[in-house]
Amino acid sequence: MADLVIRDADVVDGTGAPAYRADVVVADGRIVSIVKEAAAAGCQRPSATRELDAEGLVLSPGFIDMHAHSDLALLRDQDHSAKAAQGVTLEVIGQDGLSYAPVDDRTLAEVRRAITGWNGHGDDIDFDWRSVGEYLDRLDRGIAVNAAYLIPQGTVRALAVGWEDREATPQELDRMRQLVAEGLEQGAVGMSSGLTYTPGMYAKDAELTELCRVVAQYGGYYCPHHRSYGAGALQAYEEMVALTREADCPLHLAHATMNFGVNMGRAPELLSLLDDALAAGADISLDTYPYTPGCTTLVALLPSWASEGGPEEILRRLTDDKTAERIRHDLEVVGADGCHGVPVEWDTIEISGVTDPALQAYVGRTVEDSAALRGEAPWVTARRLLVEDRLGPTILQHVGHEENVQAIMRHRVHTGGSDGILQGAKPHPRAYGTFPHYLGRYVRELGVLSLEECVAHLTGRPAARLRLPDRGVVREGYRADLVLFDPATVAAGATFDQPRTLPTGIPHVLIDGRFVIEDGRRTDVLAGRAVRRTPV
């Protein structure tokens, strides 16, 4: 007898096809039968050890978060309701060119310092891996949701070249090619870059193209956080399209936004660029989050020259008055490349988290507001935070435009990604709310997408990009990674004031046919595993 039959569900199958009523039967972690209009047909209905009445609920594939920063959270927090309660059954981690494999002892220590704001110090983690394969094996011991991994190009460069702003030697480039190939052989699905973060930003296009050739050989994809989301955004998108066409490598644009005042209303220009490339044969997809503010670390805003050499060199420069004044000038007057070529507006920079509890009073305030309370210039406050918290502060950057957000999410190659940083006292609500916010706000309330379109954006389309042969669609023989939600009530509970509030209207989530969320509550099931690249 089957394990479970889900009766009278309104199935939205992830392909974009119209919804239909059906009984869905699950056994041994897979969908074994779909009986359409079972009740109306009057036929003998399928039976199972357990029956779940899904009247009034939509049954869809589990949501795939194409841009997640849960690299350590999956190991630290076995509950992980931030994602499980949203209906997320698979996260893609290793984003923005910096993560924890492949590393050696030196690089691991450097990376831990560099991305403390994303993932915490990691003092509570046993870093018992060094290679990509060993990290994926660690995930296989049991995690809340599935995870796929992108090889982080910045970490690879740190391992082969270091944190200096220079071209790689031929021998170093060969070493990077080797590291990327090994990571893909061990199960990574592609490669990421953070081209406004050190040391990845120091790679020229020729270097990136060579690494993308390796990615393409293994059937992976390239996922860049490109060189500008501000003053040079369109040129940065063009650069990524051109170099991946040269490498014949699939391209997935990370958090594909058009931010800052210079890009208000310019989403159609980006979409035109993508349409032209797609018409010419390019293989392109993208992800976005359904919010206007961005989220990163405060140190990421600094000019690249100030970040050369790694975290200790950054701190040394910040404590030198003459060098700190040069940093301020680049930030406030010139427009630092770390701030996307736009002069920083301190009233848009909200501190969302710090690692030192003594600095907690800054959280939830903009840098400008905190500076005014202290009677000092904003840069003085920002510099103090960076030094005293040892580069730890995370920020919300209120620079987005709703019309751009909506235009981009309508595009046919769009997928959903939270870009959710789970650290800090006041994280961006997208970490806890992205997927129900799409369904509640942009489907039910605004009608920007139909329900069937939106589910396809969040399930079938990302599964196709990841080349997953048996996920992302409600189909017989596919894995039973499923979510049941109420289309009339599903909504993000998370807000900017209460960012860790769980969503409503998602009573059940299954991974491999096992309930991860049941009757709206997290179970103790750890059904998640590493999802490795499908060999070409």
State pLDDT tens for residues 261-275.
Answer: 999 999 999 999 999
> Do 8 and 39 meet the contact criterion of CB atoms below 8 Å apart?
yes
Nearest partner of 140 among 75, 77, 197, 196, judged by Cα? 75
Indicate if 286 and 310 belong to the same structural domain: no
For residue 530, give the DSSP letter: B
Indicate if 246 and 355 belong to the same structural domain: no
Residue 146 domain-assigned? Answer: yes
What backbone torsions phi and psi does residue 449 show, to the nearest 5 degrees?
Answer: -130, 150
Q: For 456-510, what is each residue's pLDDT tens digit?
A: 999 999 999 999 999 999 999 999 999 999 999 999 999 999 999 999 999 999 9
Indicate if 274 and 313 belong to the same structural domain: no
Indicate if 181 and 250 belong to the same structural domain: yes
Nearest partner of 351 among 338, 365, 361, 341, judged by Cα? 365
Residue 535's pLDDT band, with cuts at 50, 70 and 90, is: confident
Select from 469, 484, 503 the last residue of a domain.
469
pLDDT of residue 42: 67
For 518, the token pair is: 């049941």
What CATH number is given to the structural domain containing 425? Answer: 3.20.20.140
Residue 531 domain-assigned? Answer: no
Q: For 153-200, what is each residue's pLDDT tens digit?
A: 999 999 999 999 999 999 999 999 999 999 999 999 999 999 999 999
Indicate if 322 and 358 belong to the same structural domain: yes
Indicate if 414 and 358 belong to the same structural domain: no
For residue 268, give the DSSP letter: H
Nearest partner of 298 among 194, 216, 391, 418, judged by Cα? 391
Indicate if 202 and 351 belong to the same structural domain: no
> Do 156 and 222 meet the contact criterion of CB atoms below 8 Å apart?
no
Q: Which domain holds residue 187?
A: 63-292+400-469
Residue 528 domain-assigned? Answer: no
Select from 443, 469, 495 the last residue of a domain.
469
Q: What is the C-alpha separation between 531 and 512, in angstroms, rounded?
A: 12
Which residues on adjacent β-strands are paired with residue 397? Answer: 294, 349
Select from 436, 469, 502 the last residue of a domain.
469
Indicate if 326 and 440 belong to the same structural domain: no
Indicate if 333 and 407 belong to the same structural domain: no
Residue 257 domain-assigned? Answer: yes
Indicate if 240 and 340 belong to the same structural domain: no
Indicate if 329 and 433 belong to the same structural domain: no
Indicate if 138 and 231 belong to the same structural domain: yes
Q: Give the global pTM.
A: 0.96
